[in-house]
Structure 1
């Protein structure tokens, strides 16, 4: 008498269904991640502008005059060189005593 050996394995159809579901999830998720990345960069730039504004205020209190350029803040050590630009690529400048991204 022969004994029948039963092995448990996935069929091709089951594997294809799993791959289809994973593919659909990726198609739905990837565009949302790209949108969130842009939103995070914009929010980060606004926060960086507020930080530079506070350093402009500190500079003004110490020197009794507002800095003429962003380089004045770097030179005096209020901000670092890499803080003159947002992660989105916008340059930070000082206009009318306030930090502005352009």
Structure 2
């Protein structure tokens, strides 16, 4: 039984304690920032759709609908924000967050 290598029970418990403390610190921070991450994702999506609307306007000299952007190859699918809100194009061509969750 001499020279046996391995971890003792105390060493294993200390490692588990350190991992638990790290998890207790990181998980609340990640969940706290989740809404701001989704908001920034929605802002980025709106900016991308606005660029596609502008491109469509330059090519076709009119303000498109979301369907026209899809059929014209400007968008792959109807854009939905990460928080579930729909993206809308106003009559003047300005893209915004519709505020209502998209229907499934």
TM range (shorter): 0.7 to 0.9
Following TM superposition, the consecutive aligned residue runs of length 4 or more in structure 1 with deviations greater than 6 angstroms are none
1:3-40 Cα offsets, whole Å, 9 max, x none, are x8243443322221221111111111112223444433
Tell whether 2:85 aligns with 1:85. Answer: no
Q: Which residue of 2 aligns with 1:43?
A: 40
What's the RMSD between the two structures over aligned residues? 2.1
**5+ residue gaps in structure 1?**
none
1:97 to 93, 98, 101: 93
Structure label with greater radius of gyration: 1
Q: Which residue of 1 aligns with 2:49?
A: 52
What secondary structure is seen at the aligned counterpart in 2 of 1:27? helix
Tell whether 2:36 aligns with 1:75. Answer: no
What secondary structure is seen at the aligned counterpart in 2 of 1:7? coil
Q: Which residue of 2 aligns with 1:22?
A: 19
Residues 5/101 of structure 1: CA separation in 2 closer, same or farther (3 Å cut): same
